[in-house]
């Protein structure tokens, strides 16, 4: 039930854009996105719910395709602070736990 993330790693220059994808083989109720820097706790970015509701930071955008069980995180005009590993966590209807992907390592260089 672990979601699959792509790409596994990406390197960007400051100001460039990136898209990180998360897909599941199961019907999903919610998708949660986190960023984790080395040696630190995962930081909540956004949650997307079946039906279209979204909660998260204003500067982060994401989409959730309920038919395809896919979510994408859009990082625009990247900054050095965006570097880290991005995880998606997925949950099915009626579940109370998240399954996390293996992460996407994002590196932003000057």
Partner 1 sequence: ETGVTQSPTHLIKTRGQQVTLRCSSQSGHNTVSWYQQALGQGPQFIFQYYREEENGRGNFPPRFSGLQFPNYSSELNVNALELDDSALYLCASSRSGRVSYEQYFGPGTRLTVT
Cα angle 43, 73, 83; round to 5 = 50
Q: Among the residues of the chain, which ranges form H helices?
A: none
The one among 20, 64, 73, 101 contacting partner 1 by CB under 8 A: 101
Rg over alpha carbons for the chain, rounded to the nearest Å, is 13
The one among 47, 62, 73, 75 contacting partner 1 by CB under 8 A: 47
Q: Segment near partner 1 (CB under 8 A), from 9-17, 24-32, 62-70, 74-82?
A: 24-32
| 30: its two tokens | 């919610």
Least distance (Å) between residue 87 CB and partner 1: 5
Q: Which of residues 57-86 bind partner 1 (CB under 8 A)?
A: none
């Amino acid at each position: 039930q672990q979601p699959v993330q792509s790409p596994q790693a990406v390197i960007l220059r400051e100001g460039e854009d990136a898209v990180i994808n998360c897909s599941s083989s199961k019907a999903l109720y919610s998708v949660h996105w986190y960023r984790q820097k080395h040696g630190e706790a995962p930081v909540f970015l956004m949650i997307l719910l079946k039906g279209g509701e979204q909660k998260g930071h204003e500067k982060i955008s994401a989409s959730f395709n309920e038919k395809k069980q896919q979510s994408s995180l859009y990082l625009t005009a990247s900054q050095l602070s965006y570097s880290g590993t991005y995880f998606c966590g997925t949950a099915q209807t009626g579940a109370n736990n998240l399954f996390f992907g293996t992460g996407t390592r994002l590196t932003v260089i000057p």
